[in-house]
Structure 1
Amino acid sequence: MAHIAWLGKKSPFCGNVTYGLTTTHALQERGHRISFIHFDTPAGQLGRQPIAVAASGGDDRTRRKRQGGRPGPAAGAARWRGATDGPGLDLADREVALPYLVKSQVYTIPSPGAQRELRESLERLRPDLVHASLTLSPLDFRLPDLCQQLKLPLVATFHPAFDAGLRNLTAGTQQLTYQLYAPSLARFDRVIVFSELQADVLLRLGVQADRLAVIPNGVDTATWRPAAGPPSAELAALQQRFRGRRVFLYMGRIATEKNVEALLRAWRLVRPAGCVLVIVGDGPLRSSLQGNGEEGDVVWWGYEPDLATRVALQQLAEVFLLPSLVEGLSLALLEAMASGTACVATDAGADGEVLEGGAGIVISTQGVTTQLRTLLPVLHDQPVLTAELGRRARERALERYTLENNLKALEELYAELVGSRTLAA
């Protein structure tokens, strides 16, 4: 079993956070040791030291106790004891906090001392491998040199959304992100991407093929599954709340690239009878899109931290709608598919690839409102169609996008890199 130093995010909530927490928790359950390194100390609290808690698989709402003052050398030694002793890790070695100036769902700006603290952490932990779930941070570009100096294999998961067709301004902006990162990514031992389309984008930008590993996102299909038998308490409550109405669902960030505005325009033009659009998530555009007036057939749910409730929402929904202008590989889409929900998504990023061949309905990123205006009445009038699409979506998720398959591929990659380092030594 490997000791993996995972550099990623625990907040604020986004796909990167879900990916990191889900993956590290599952790796721990398979016997690996995980040290989760993340930005968790605001600049205004640099004089405080967090008392670490069990990290991987933790909840963003976990409250961490803090104590004033800087610990002396003895306290520092105690914090790191157990990093390499015995089969497991002390609590403080499972989670390491780095200081930051700014942290958002999209990017992170570290404090000036973050690089030094990261280096000291890695020197003391002495992991077998570093896996960076890249956070769009200046620190990302320094990782190859740092790990090379410490003789540690370095893996990156590259998350930024994309649209290979460059059909809109948002896609062009994301392409600039890929161009900025490509020279640095070429220096990682491996770069994990979620689809062949994403790999092609990086290949065109000069990242060597032998550096890329296509490992699609995966979801726990035992958790995300169609409702069976008596409903859970969460599902029963939702069924009571929306009794007599069919639920169409959006789940994700409320931001420009997600194009929720186009979905709302189409919904307000069609207003399918007996249906409700439930929008789960939060983001910078929520207040402007929601407005001041209440709409009986549009429910602004907000951010939902409870996993059981999110599962119940997917199980209740008849149709999942994802109108994004750019994407990577949407975890919310995979969760909807695994839940047996009929899915409609744009061909941004890898989402079209996921649904191709009848596992869902794929629309273009251009003219989303017009396409949805045509589709919504069809989905309303054809419940047999939505049921069949949901069955095919579940089948596709089981075939290609399970967490089990994702973990096996990760473990094979880790074994290759750690084995290579052992042989070289």
Structure 2
Amino acid sequence: MVQIAWLGKKSPFCGNVSYGLSTTEALRERGHQTHFIHFDNPRNPVGQRTSLLANDPDVSLPYLVKSQVYTIPSPRALRELRDSLARLKPDVVHASLTLSPLDFRLPDLCQQLGLPLVATFHPPFDAGLRNLTAGTQQLSYQLYAPALARYDRVIVFSKLQADILERLGVPRERLAVIPNGIDTHYWKPAADGETSSVLRQVKQRLGESRVFLYMGRIATEKNVEALLRAWRLVSPEGCRLVIVGDGPQRMVLQNTYDTPDVLWWGYEENENIRVALQQCAEVFVLPSLVEGLSLALLEAMASGTACVATDAGADGEVLDEGAGIVMSTQGVTTQLRTLLPVLRDQPVLNGELGRRARQRVLERYTLSRNIDAIEMLYADLLEQTPMAA
């Protein structure tokens, strides 16, 4: 059994949150002890201390600003983190990096405490630098690389991502390619004749139209407007585009593309409802300009939904060789203008793509495979640093 201090996010909902919660839960189920250290204390009065009980699985740190993208900790956060780690005495610290100034201080802190340090590095990318957003994300990689080189291990989601960090100076031996994993017993196609109350509720709201689905943040890098422009140009008869999520662009886009064949579902906190939405969808579309390895895409694939995504980040690798349809990040509206009528007219093709998508997840992207690899990484690291065990 390994005792793990997991530093990550529990809110607001994003891929980092899903990754941290699912991974720590799976590690606990395998007998490991996890302490989840996260930013969740915005109004902690001066003098009130963070919980440091050794048997308390969660520790909250104070912050000034927290968003889906980045976190600005309180000036007290580093001290409270140091006190927490000294009290908990974990075997390993695993930081699911939150794009926070603390990320750059962790190597020194853990070295002082004699604790092995693992990072999972989430920021999206497009190795081709084909757009302004990709260039901005590349700058974040350049900013982080010197700090990541001082972590004992850095988990990334694809070989392409590892290649980028290696070129920026992170030693190859410190990089571990461990793709995201999905619980395929939970994310799965609806059984024939399934009539659960959640599924009925979702179907009632969706109506009788065939469903094309986007699920994720509504922000510039997700390129949702390109999908909406293509949908308006094509207006596929008998189909409905469902947009699930929230973000800085939502209100502007909703005001511009508020038509009967577009359903703005909004942010959905209930995971059972998100599962039902994927099960009801015929096609999932992810038009991102940059990505890491999209959990929403893997969830759609595991649900047996036909998937269309750009080749940003590792998403093209996930869908290659017929597991889905891969677009370039350039000219997404034009490509979708061609693809949407084909997908509308070929439901048999969609069914086959959905079958292949689920098979790909079962072969490569299950949560159990992900946890196996993380356990092996911990064991290897602790074997090399016995003083931390």
TM-score range, shorter chain: over 0.9
1:288-316, Cα deviation, whole Å (9 max, x unpaired): 00007741100000110111100000000
Secondary structure at the aligned position of 2:356 is classed as helix
Higher relative contact order (CA 8 A, sep 6+): 2
What does residue 45 of structure 2 align with? 47
Alpha carbons of structure 1 residues 294 and 167: separation in structure 2 relative to 1, 3 Å: closer
| 1:239 positional shift | 2.4
What does residue 111 of structure 2 align with? 148
Q: Separation in 1 of the partners of 2:96 and 2:221? A: 21
What percentage of residue pairs aligned between the two structures are identical? 74
1:129-164, Cα deviation, whole Å (9 max, x unpaired): 000000001110010011011110000000000000
What does residue 134 of structure 1 align with? 97
Trace 1:203-242 onto structure 2 (pairs within 5 A). Answer: 203-229=166-192, 230-242=194-206
| Conserved 8 A contact 2:35-2:57 | yes
What does residue 105 of structure 1 align with? 68
Residue 291 (structure 2) pairs with residue 324 (structure 1): no
What does residue 38 of structure 1 align with? 38
What does residue 269 of structure 1 align with? 233
| Conserved 8 A contact 2:63-2:74 | yes
What does residue 133 of structure 2 align with? 170
| 1:233 positional shift | 1.5
| 1:70 positional shift | 3.3
Q: Kindly report structure 1 stretches of 4+ aligned residues shifted beyond 4 Å.
A: none
Trace 1:255-266 onto structure 2 (pairs within 5 A). Answer: 255-266=219-230
Deviates more, 1:273-282 or 1:222-231: 222-231
| Conserved 8 A contact 2:310-2:326 | yes
Deviates more, 1:227-236 or 1:320-329: 227-236
Q: TM-score, normalised by structure 2?
A: 0.97
What does residue 56 of structure 1 align with? none
What does residue 389 of structure 1 align with? 353
| 1:417 positional shift | 1.1
Trace 1:183-202 onto structure 2 (pairs within 5 A). Answer: 183-202=146-165
| Conserved 8 A contact 2:382-2:388 | no
Q: Separation in 2 of the partners of 1:294 and 1:348? A: 28
Q: TM-score, normalised by structure 1?
A: 0.89
Matched AA of 2:178: I
1:223-281, Cα deviation, whole Å (9 max, x unpaired): 00011142321112222333431000000000000000000000000000000000000
Q: Separation in 1 of the partners of 2:108 and 2:258? A: 53
Q: 1:70 aligns with which of 24, 31, 48?
A: 48
Question: What is the count of residue pairs matched by the alignment?
Answer: 388
Deviates more, 1:110-119 or 1:329-338: 110-119
RMSD of Structure 2 on Structure 1 (CA)? 1.4
| Conserved 8 A contact 2:115-2:388 | no
Alpha carbons of structure 1 residues 293 and 391: separation in structure 2 relative to 1, 3 Å: closer
| 1:423 positional shift | 6.5
Q: Separation in 2 of the partners of 1:339 and 1:278? A: 16
Q: Separation in 2 of the partners of 1:396 and 1:237? A: 29
What does residue 58 of structure 1 align with? none
| 1:418 positional shift | 1.6
Matched AA of 2:331: G
Matched AA of 1:47: P
1:189-225, Cα deviation, whole Å (9 max, x unpaired): 0000000110111111111110000000000000000
1:20-72, Cα deviation, whole Å (9 max, x unpaired): 01110111111111110011111xx2217xxxxxxxxxxxxxxxxxxxx737x
Q: Separation in 2 of the partners of 1:328 and 1:334? A: 12
| 1:416 positional shift | 1.1
Q: Separation in 2 of the partners of 1:249 and 1:257? A: 18
Matched AA of 2:205: R
Q: Separation in 2 of the partners of 1:15 and 1:363? A: 22
Residue 332 (structure 2) pairs with residue 371 (structure 1): no
Task: Specify every segment of 5 or more residues in structure 1 that has no aligned partner in the other structure, as ranges.
Answer: 49-68, 84-89
